[in-house]
Structure formats: C-alpha cells, structure tokens
Structure 1
C-alpha cells in the first residue's frame, strides 16, 4: 500500500513538474498597433522556451513566424473589423487580440446649405468617401463625387436634404439637414424717360395646393433714397399661370425707377417696364 501511494505521489509530482514547462511555451498579451486603412502591426509576448507561433486571422490560419514578437499584417480592407489569435507551436498556449477596425470608414458628413427662392446650394465635409448620394424629401436625387451640389427649388417650401457618403468598399454614413426657401422677391432697376410707366409681366404660382398673390411696387430712386409711386397685384389659384400689362404710375418725370416683385409662392416668368 505504501509502495502504491509512493508511486502515485511520484507520478503526480512528475506531472506537476511538466505543467510549467508546457505552459511556458505560450504566446501571451496579443495586441494591435499602427493601424491604417489596409495594414496593422500584430504583437505578442513570447514566454520562456517559445520561439515560433502560428497566426490566425478571423479564425482562419494566416501564417507562421519564428524568433520575433511582432508581425506586419498587410492587404487588409478599409473599414473592416478583424481579430487575431497567436498560438504557440505545439498548441501549448494562445492569446487573442480585441477586435480592431481598420481606418477608412466614412463619417457622417457635416452639411451646410444656403437657399434662394428657386435654388438650394448644398455642401458637406469630405468623410473618407469616394462618392455621395443625395436624397431630397426621401427620394433619390443624384450621385456625385463632389462635396457640393446645387438643387432647383420653389419658394416658401421646406426640404429635407440627405447626404449618404460611401467609401471604396461600400460602407456608408449619412446625415440629413432641413432647408427652407424664402418667398419670391426680385428687384429690377433702370432709367426711364418722362411719361406713364407701364409694367408687363408673366408669372406662375409654384404651389399646387395654395392660392397666392403676386405684388408689384414701383419706386423712383434718388441717390440712396426711394419714393413709392405706384403698384399693382394679381391673384393666382394653385398652379395657375397668368400675365398682365398695366400702368403703374402716370405722368412721372425722367429718372431711375425700381420695380419690386414679391409673392409667397408665385415667380415671375418675364418682366419689363417702360415709359410712354
């Protein structure tokens, strides 16, 4: 019985003595550094007695290397997540990195916009992208490689502008901005001879749901001051186009005159004025 117990103790001692030797052949503390859009440096710590390791990328064997504790990983895809396992030869031990994402991911573009009654000029920040999709009120509008675009618009309306940035490998990021156009307002200035001042103009209501008025005001200009001398207006049903020819002011002296045209929804399709 004593002999058996002695044999057991000796066997256990032998096994325990081998454990440190076996566990020493392990790679430890795997890390990634120097991350770019297509490469990184993989590092680890070799325990005493270890000289070679196997590297696995996303669970698949990648390569073997010896007598080093770093390895350059190249040929990666931009904006892609990877993890690496480093295994000591003989499978005595292994270490794994945290997931790491390569650079080159598009970021949400920062959008700015300026609006007139009939256009919206949109620009946005470059964001690691090769092209941009524009959406207006949820509907696809165009694709461009530029970081700016001019959109046609109508007066007194709110628009939702979305920019989707896409990088070379197809990943996307997006941002949306609300933009409102002002009401229509235009001025026309010219010199006229003495007489009656006649206005001729065409105009269209750009709204398909709301009626509107268009207003014309005539001013005589002298230096930095101006004097109102006449005006007229016209009613337009939703979507209606019309025109008028009318005298804005009678018996006016020669001088410089300015016509102001304004409307919530209507726009001028052509305007002229003259004295007679």
Structure 2
C-alpha cells in the first residue's frame, strides 16, 4: 500500500513539473511603440528557453523572428485597429496586443453665426481631408474647406451635422442646434412729404402658421430717428401677399426710414413712396 502511494506521489510531482513548460509564455509584455499612420514597432520579452517566435497579425501569419524581441510592421492603414500575437515554437504560450494606427479624424468642433436667412458654419478637426454637411438629417454638401454657409428661414431651429473624413474613409462627426432670428431689415427714402406708404411683396416661409409683416416708419433727423407711424400685413401660412400699405399722413419734407420685422415673413425689397 505504501509503495502504491509513493508511486502516485512521484507521478503527480512529475506532472506538476511538466505543466509549467506547457503553460509558460514564449513571450510576454507584447506592446507597440513608434506608432504612425502606416507602421509600428511590435515588442515582446522572450522567456527563458525560448528563442524563436512567430508573429501573427489579425490571426494571419506575418513573419518569424529568432533571438529578437521586436519587429517593424509596415504597410498598415491609417486609423485601423490591428491585433498581434507573438507565439513560441517550443510548446509555450503566446502574448497578444492590439493597437490602432494614427490618422483617425477628430470630431469637428463647430462654431456658427446666424441671420434670418443663413447659418455660417466654421469648424476645426485633425486628420480630415473632406467634410459632409447635413441639415436636419439631409445631406447638403461635401467640402474640403473648414467653413460653409447654409440657407435658412427666420425663427427656425436646425440640427446641423459635420462629418469629418480622412483619406481612407474613416469618419468622426459632431452636431449642433442653430436657431435663426426673425426677419428684420430697413430701407430709407429721401425728400418725401405728405402721405407716405410702403409697397412690397411678403412671403411667409412657415407652411404651418400664419404671420404678419410689421412696418414701422421713422423720420430721419440729425438727433435720431423719430417715429411717425406703423402698420402690419397679414400673411397666411406658406403664402405671398403684396401691395401698397399706407403708414403715415401729413408728413413734412424729409428723409424716411421703414423698418420691417416678422417672425416668419421675408421680402426681397420694398418701395417707399407717397400717395
């Protein structure tokens, strides 16, 4: 019985001695340095008893090295993640690492200004060669510039997205919400007197809600503008109306400025006259 136990313990100790051989790592601490857009240096530490390793990239055999602890990998693509495995040939284990090459575009940092009819965008981004512009989810344009002006309507909020793309097609994007102000513009006419009116065509850019164009008339003086009268023009949703609209009567000879404002309506120009 004692002999049988002794044989068992001897066999068990032999197994324990063999296990580390098959579980030891051929190379440890696999890592990448000198990473560029298309190359890197793969490093590892050889373990005692191992001098020859095989290198795999994304599961595909790449090369073999004897007695070395680094390998220069070239021909890579920018902004791409690769997996490397350093495998021993003496029945040992392996060491792995993954690394992403340089050249990924950065998400654009967007700034903007607005008028009642436009959104002027500018942005900064690294490693990008072109940009796709979207407004409210719809593609508008592709540009290599870092600025772009979008058309807009008064009193609207728009979601604007800029997608940065590098030379190999990888992307990064940012979005902002930009709100436009209501319409506002002014015109001045000279040497008028008597009854004064404003003429023009006014378009409601909102297809859901009606609106009004508000017309305010001032007499221009050396000490400032003097209010002389106002009126408004009702415009149904999505419609255009036009005509002459009286604003003030019995005015002295002078210069007169008409200021037009509206939440949604616009005009390409007006006339100021008498009647």
- Give the TM-score normalised by the residue count of structure 2: 0.84
Query: Which position in structure 1 is the counterpart of 2:3?
Result: none
Displacement of 1:186 after TM fit?
Answer: 0.5
Displacement of 1:265 after TM fit?
Answer: 1.0
Q: Distance in 1 between matches of 2:265 and 2:71?
A: 68
Please give the root-mean-square deviation of Cα atoms over the aligned residues, in Å: 3.2
Q: Distance in 2 between matches of 1:184 and 1:207?
A: 12
Unmatched tracts of structure 2, length 5 or more: 1-5
Unmatched tracts of structure 1, length 5 or more: 1-5
Query: Which position in structure 2 is the counterpart of 1:39?
Result: 39
Q: Deviations over 1:55-112 (max 9, x none)?
A: 1111111112334322211111122111212233444443222x21112223322222
Judged with a 3 Å threshold, the aligned counterparts in structure 2 of structure 1 residues 192 and 66 are, in CA distance, closer, same or farther, namely: farther
Contact 1:25 / 1:49 at 8 angstroms: preserved in 2? no
Contact 2:198 / 2:247 at 8 angstroms: preserved in 1? yes
Contact 2:202 / 2:242 at 8 angstroms: preserved in 1? yes
Which sits farther off after the overlay, 22-31 or 193-202?
Answer: 22-31
Off by >6 Å, runs of 4+ in structure 1: 6-25
Q: Distance in 2 between matches of 1:49 and 1:35?
A: 30
> What secondary structure sits across from 2:267 in the alignment?
strand
Displacement of 1:154 after TM fit?
Answer: 1.0
Query: Which position in structure 2 is the counterpart of 1:3?
Result: none
Contact 2:36 / 2:101 at 8 angstroms: preserved in 1? yes
Q: Distance in 1 between matches of 2:273 and 2:254?
A: 12
Query: Which position in structure 1 is the counterpart of 2:199?
Result: 200
Asked if residue 104 in structure 1 is aligned to residue 113 in structure 2, the reply is: no
Which sits farther off after the overlay, 249-258 or 9-18?
Answer: 9-18
Query: Which position in structure 2 is the counterpart of 1:29?
Result: 29
- Give the TM-score normalised by the residue count of structure 1: 0.84
Displacement of 1:135 after TM fit?
Answer: 2.0
Contact 2:214 / 2:232 at 8 angstroms: preserved in 1? yes
Contact 2:21 / 2:92 at 8 angstroms: preserved in 1? no
